[in-house]
A and B are shown apart, each in its own frame.
Chain A
Amino acid sequence: DAKTTQPPSMDCAEGRAANLPCNHSTISGNEYVYWYRQIHSQGPQYIIHGLKNNETNEMASLIITEDRKSSTLILPHATLRDTAVYYCIVRTTVVGGGTSYGKLTFGQGTILTVHP
């Protein structure tokens, strides 16, 4: 089961910042928070990930609370092309097949609609 809770939908005006919240109260100390988005009929697109420090890249910023129980993805200047389903995922570590690897379990995500 997914370890995250997100609002099912959000709206944002074009040009404004979109702030997408995510709760992950059962996250463990070594588990990363990942954000992906999926535009209709395409494969999920990696956005950003973080452990405990805030992170920023060319697409977005990730703010993680000090207790790591929640985070917020910020799209600083939303455009119409940012309309998508946004998934917040806690990556768990699995040991199997002679190795350990990260496993992404997708929840239902947040449908972000950016309007003119």
Chain B
Amino acid sequence: SAVISQKPSRDICQRGTSLTIQCQVDSQVTMMFWYRQQPGQSLTLIATANQGSEATYESGFVIDKFPISRPNLTFSTLTVSNMSPEDSSIYLCSVAGTASFSYEQYFGPGTRLTVT
């Protein structure tokens, strides 16, 4: 399996500000995904980040609100821009696609964001 770390693990932010979440993997992966989990809800895919190309966003999510970077095969960032209380969620990084686990997808521990 892959070891995934996220920074920060949690944060409390004021509305109108932005937060960048980092995701680091201990091995090279093809695909990286960003999910959101609102309080009491299931996970919702925000976007898919393939190294060397623009991120692909799901319906309801836009690049201006959630810009993503994928500079190499082990790292990605998600920025939550111009935050409002409705952005309070757990944000999860997920990875897939290596020679050792081409059919499996693993999740990081999540970043718990509270917007006041």
Contact = CB atoms under 8 A, between A and B. Distances in A.
Contacts of A94: 48, 56
B90 to A, nearest CB: 8
A111 B17 CA distance: 35
Given A101-B31, A101-B97, A46 B48 contact: no
Nearest to B52: A98
Interface in A93-116: 94, 96-99, 101-109
Contacts of A97: 48, 50, 53-56
A107 B53 CA distance: 28
Contacts of A96: 48, 56
A108 B44 CA distance: 11
Contact of A104 (B30, B45, B108): B45
Given A87-B42, A106-B42, A98 B50 contact: yes
Contacts, number: 64
A75 B18 CA distance: 42
Chain A's interface size range is 20 to 34
Contact of B48 (A41, A87, A101, A106): A101
A90 to B, nearest CB: 13
Interface residues of B, number: 30
Main secondary structure, interface of B, reads strand
Given A43-B109, A98-B50, A101-B96, A109 B42 contact: yes
A94 B58 CA distance: 12
B105 A104 contact: yes
Given A36-B107, A46-B107, A104-B45, 14 more contacts: A41-B90, A43-B110, A44-B43, A46-B104, A96-B48, A97-B48, A97-B50, A97-B55, A99-B30, A101-B96, A102-B105, A106-B42, A106-B44, A108-B42
Interface of A: 32, 34, 36, 41-46, 49, 87, 94, 96-99, 101-109
Question: Which 8 A-B residue pairings sit nearest by Cβ, starting from the closest?
Answer: A43-B107, A106-B43, A97-B53, A97-B50, A106-B42, A44-B107, A96-B56, A43-B109
